[in-house]
Amino acid sequence: MNKVVYGLILGGILGIFDGLTSWFTPAVRSQLLTIVIGSTIKGIIAGVLIGFFARKVNSLPLGILFGLGVGLLLAFIVAYMQRGYYVPIMLPGGLVGLIVGYATQKYGSSGLSAPSRP
Amino acid sequence: MNWLSDDAISRLQAANAMADFAGTRYRLIECVGSGGMGVVYLAEDSVLGRRVALKILDLPDVPGEFAARLLREAHILARLEHPGIVPVHDAGVLAGGRAFYAMKFVEGQRLDRLSEKQNTLSTRLSIFQRICDTVAFAHAHGVLHRDLKPPNIMVGPFGEVLVMDWGVAKILGRIQSSSSGPVAVESLAPASDPLLASPAKTAHGAIIGTPGYMAPEQARGDIESLDERSDIFSLGAILQFLLANPAHQNVSRPLAAIARKAMAANPEDRYTSASALGQDVACYLDGLPVSAYPENILRKVARWAPRHRVAIALVLTYLVVRAVLILWARR
């Protein structure tokens, strides 16, 4: 699967899952839908960015680092908007980015077509 | 009267046994091997200035049947142009009446000797895949090898794999072709090539092959029933030989199943083609399921998990972190 599409789908799925885990926190359960939508959008954005990076740079360590960085940055923005919860938002957010970074490099295909034969 | 010593008689016999290449383009260098039918010499082709291997009939006064068999082998090799089959450069009959053919001189090691070294399993399986490719090519051209065994496989210094000794090969009466149906062998052999146009040269009941590597139907001398699956049995025996190395104490079940299927007593139960056998080995090397070894869900997970252990570890880490954060938030 194309690395960008792979990143988008994986980021979206992990974003949904990440958002759904807020159900276990009674204090924010009432905002579950908003959290899931926000988390999904965050995951999709991270996945697309990481996918594009993976298409340009074919390196597992760099892909992991970039994924971690993007995940942390987006999570930081969300936490900043929330005015708190830095650790509960940034730690899983960074891990999601790291997973997407690893997976796009490892399992995504470059999406380049084979050269045509004369 | 002067009597010749035993030593002198031995030297005269040896000189008589030497092939006479006077007047040809070849200069013999040394004898590099011998088989049931002929001797192989390393020689120099004086015209092209390169080394070649010359296979020559062992005896000068053999009946024409053996000469025809040697030349038939040369014709078969010439027909099978493939990286895994040694190319033939020339063939003919010497002034003394001995048939010969010249082929590329292959520098390498026999598979049975190579196996004494501690090669990795993946290297061995890669070699085996290339043997399967070569045999599949020969089958597609209507040729059965009938004596596949490790001593007949050469592995070159750059990893090239060559299937040797096609002296007892059989031309099938039909070929498997992807583009057309069965084709009569006569249509494949040119009219001027009577050697190839006479496929059944081995009498029914004659046993050709090597014990341990020949299929049961071959061991029975049931020549008429031999087909591609007889070679597949031999390939299975080669695979078993490669797996039997002491360095590989625990042969994985899928590989053992592949060898078992290839060596099934009933030809119907074997792989239908050498390509299918090679493909199953390729699947094993790629961590994919093999056709010879049906898997339940647990075995699938056991095969899948080691290949994705980093991804599994990352997801588990995420889940643990999430669980800890949830518990921490509920305190």
pLDDT at B183 over 70: no
Q: Hey, is the C-beta of A32 within 8 angstroms of any chain B C-beta?
A: no
Question: CB distance B325–A102 less than 8 Å?
Answer: no
ipTM over 0.95: no
A112 three-class SS:
coil
Provide the chain A residues 62-101 that lie in CB contact (below 8 A) with chain B.
87-88, 91-92, 95-96, 98-99
pLDDT for res B185: 33
Distance CA B175, CA A82 (A): 74
pLDDT for res B318: 93
Residue that has been written with the tokens 């695979």 in this structure:
B239
Least confident of A22-26, B161-165, B232-236: A22-26
Minimum-distance CB partner of B326 among A21, A96, A106? A21
Pick the CATH number of B6-104 from 3.90.550.10, 3.30.200.20, 3.40.50.11540, 3.40.50.300: 3.30.200.20
Asked if residues A7 and A53 have their Cβ atoms less than 8 Å apart, the reply is no
Torsion angle (degrees, nearest 10) of CA B310, A65, A97, A5:
-90
Q: pLDDT tens, B277-290?
A: 999 999 999 888 89
Which residues does A24 contact at the CB level (< 8 Å), separation at least 6?
Answer: B326, B329, B330
Confidence band for A61, pLDDT divided at 50, 70 and 90: very high
Minimum-distance CB partner of A98 among B314, B322, B326? B314
Which residues does A36 contact at the CB level (< 8 Å), separation at least 6?
Answer: A16, A19, A20, A22
Confidence band for B189, pLDDT divided at 50, 70 and 90: very low
Distance CA A67, CA A97 (A): 4
Among chain B residues, CA nearest to A19: B322
Percent of chain B at pLDDT exceeding 90: 32
Q: Hey, is the C-beta of A102 within 8 angstroms of any chain B C-beta?
A: yes
Q: pLDDT tens, B50-96?
A: 999 998 887 655 557 778 888 888 888 888 899 999 999 988 888 77
Q: Which CATH superfamily is domain B109-294 in?
A: Transferase(Phosphotransferase) domain 1 (1.10.510.10)
Q: Hey, is the C-beta of B314 within 8 angstroms of any chain A C-beta?
A: yes
Q: In what order do the strands lie in the sheet containing B109-110?
A: B109-110, B153-155, B161-163
Confidence band for B195, pLDDT divided at 50, 70 and 90: very low
Count of residues for chain B?
A: 331
B282 burial type by CB count under 10 A (0-12 exposed, 13-18 middle, 19+ buried):
middle
B54 burial type by CB count under 10 A (0-12 exposed, 13-18 middle, 19+ buried):
buried
B16 vs B67 pLDDT, higher one: B67
Show the tokens assigned to B6: 């035993």
Distance to chain A for B275, nearest Cα, Å: 24
Contacts of A50 in chain B (CB under 8 A): none
Q: Hey, is the C-beta of B15 within 8 angstroms of any chain A C-beta?
A: no
Confidence band for B187, pLDDT divided at 50, 70 and 90: very low
Confidence band for B11, pLDDT divided at 50, 70 and 90: low
Mutation target to probe the B interface, by most B beta carbons within 10 A, among A39, A65, A91, A105 is A91
Confidence band for B126, pLDDT divided at 50, 70 and 90: very high
Least confident of A46-50, A112-116, B233-237, B320-324: A112-116
Distance CA B304, CA B151 (A): 36
Give the domain ranges of chain B: 6-104, 109-294, 298-329
- Cα–Cα distances (Å) from A90 to A11, A73, A96, A97, in that order, read 15, 8, 10, 10
Beta bridge partners of B28: B43
Minimum-distance CB partner of A99 among B314, B325, B328? B314
**Chain centroid to CA A35:** 15
Residue A52: CB atoms within 10 Å: 15
pLDDT for res B277: 95
Nearest CA to A94 among A104, A106, A86?
A86
Distance to chain B for A43, nearest Cα, Å: 14
pLDDT for res B317: 94
Could you give the residue numbers annotated as active site of B? 147
Distance to chain A for B318, nearest Cα, Å: 6
Contacts of A98 in chain B (CB under 8 A): 314
Nearest CA to B197 among B90, B57, B76?
B76
Confidence band for B122, pLDDT divided at 50, 70 and 90: confident
Confidence band for A51, pLDDT divided at 50, 70 and 90: very high
Q: Hey, is the C-beta of B310 within 8 angstroms of any chain A C-beta?
A: yes
Distance CA A70, CA A46 (A): 6
Percent of chain B at pLDDT exceeding 70: 79
Q: Hey, is the C-beta of B309 within 8 angstroms of any chain A C-beta?
A: no
- Cα–Cα distances (Å) from B124 to B100, B129, B298, in that order, read 33, 9, 28
Distance CA B292, CA B239 (A): 14
∠ CA B206-B133-B150, nearest 5°, is: 55
Show the tokens assigned to B323: 């669980």
Mutation target to probe the A interface, by most A beta carbons within 10 A, among B318, B321, B324 is B318
- How do strand B109-110 and strand B153-155 relate by DSSP bridges? antiparallel
